[in-house]
Amino acid sequence: MGSPITKWEGAAEFFTYADKPTVMYTILGLSVAVTFLAIVKGWRHENEAYHKLKKQEL
């Protein structure tokens, strides 16, 4: 399949939310929150698994 672009002169990128810092900060905040929640959930799961294993060994 060939590209419909024949010339690269005047090619540009457009970022939809580049001029809206509120949207960018909202997306950043959501990313941080999801990362934090994933770490906390993983930490809790590992602690539970460790304590279950420790009880089985006794």
- What is the structure's pLDDT at 11? 74
pTM score, whole prediction: 0.61
Q: Is residue 3 part of a domain?
A: no
Q: Is residue 6 part of a domain?
A: no
Q: Is residue 7 part of a domain?
A: no
Q: Is residue 9 part of a domain?
A: no
Residue given tokens 């949207």 in the structure block = 23
Residue 1 has pLDDT above 70, yes or no: no
Rg (CA), the chain: 24
Q: Looking at beta carbons, which pairs linking 53-57 to residues 24 or more positions away fall under 8 Å?
A: none
Range of the domain at 41: 17-58
When divided into structural domains, the chain yields a total of 1
Question: For 17-42, what is each residue's pLDDT tens digit?
Answer: 667 889 889 999 999 999 999 999 99
